[in-house]
């Protein structure tokens, strides 16, 4: 699959999480798979915290952040969440939550406040099951990695 090379601008894919906390490694696993599928993207990660995005995603036309989430959905469920002004405001509704202290939406609000936010941000969340210490994704999350990678590749393809 080709990647974004035209005037649309730089595309970054960030894998949030730690491979040493089982399903928390879903973000980096998906980002690695996307890097194999799509050329021309800036691959970031693994990143430990959404604040790590600051400075790395600056000037991007599209930033796709992949992370394990806890929402109560079935493990392995893949969700695509488009962050816009309405979803990142102070009255945002509930939804899948990151396993990190600050949300990606919070990091985006901060980046906007200092004038360095990407033009568009999309979060691809993979519902985790096991966040204990150790290597390896749970079976449901492992099976979801290719689906999540395809979702990211489609977002990039729509953007290009």
Number of domains within the chain:
1
Instruction: State the residue range of the domain holding 54.
Output: 11-151
In a domain, 6, yes or no: no
pLDDT, position 159: 79
pLDDT at residue 85, rounded to an integer: 55
pLDDT bin (cut points 50, 70, 90) of residue 8 is low
Q: Is residue 2 part of a domain?
A: no
Q: pTM of the prediction?
A: 0.85
User: What would the mean pLDDT of 135-151 be, rounded to a whole number?
Assistant: 97
Would you say residue 111 lies in a domain?
yes
Q: Within a domain: residue 90?
A: yes
pLDDT digits 0-9 by tens, 108-138: 999 999 999 999 999 999 999 999 999 999 9
> Does 115 fall in a domain?
yes
Q: Is residue 37 part of a domain?
A: yes
Residue 156 domain-assigned (yes or no): no
pLDDT digits (tens, 9 = 90+) for 42-62: 998 899 999 999 999 998 999
Instruction: Supply the CATH number for residue 120's domain.
Output: 3.40.50.1450
Instruction: Tell me what the mean pLDDT of segment 51-79 comes to.
Output: 94
DSSP codes joined into one string, the chain: -----STT--EEEEEES-TTBGGGGHHHHHHHHHHHH-SSPEEEEEESSGGGGTTTSTT-SEEEEEEEEESSSPTT-EEEEEE-TTTTSTT-----EESSSS-HHHHHHHHHHTT---SEEEEEEEE-S--SSBSS--HHHHHHHHHHHHHHHHHHHHH-
In a domain, 88, yes or no: yes
């Amino acid at each position: 699959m080709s990647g974004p090379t035209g005037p649309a601008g730089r595309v970054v894919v960030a894998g949030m999480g730690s491979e040493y906390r089982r399903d928390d490694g879903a973000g980096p696993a998906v980002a690695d798979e996307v890097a194999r599928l799509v050329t021309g993207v800036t691959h970031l990660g693994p990143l430990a915290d959404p604040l790590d995005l600051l400075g790395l995603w600056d000037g991007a036309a599209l930033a796709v952040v992949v992370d394990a989430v806890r929402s109560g959905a079935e493990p392995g469920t893949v969700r695509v969440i488009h962050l816009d002004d309405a979803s990142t405001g102070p009255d945002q509704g509930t939804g899948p939550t990151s396993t990190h202290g600050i949300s990606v939406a919070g990091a985006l609000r901060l980046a906007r406040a200092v004038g360095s936010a990407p033009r568009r941000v999309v979060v691809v969340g993979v519902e985790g099951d096991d966040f204990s210490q150790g290597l390896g994704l749970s079976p449901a999350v492992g099976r979801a990695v290719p689906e999540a990678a395809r979702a990211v590749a489609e977002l990039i393809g729509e953007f290009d």
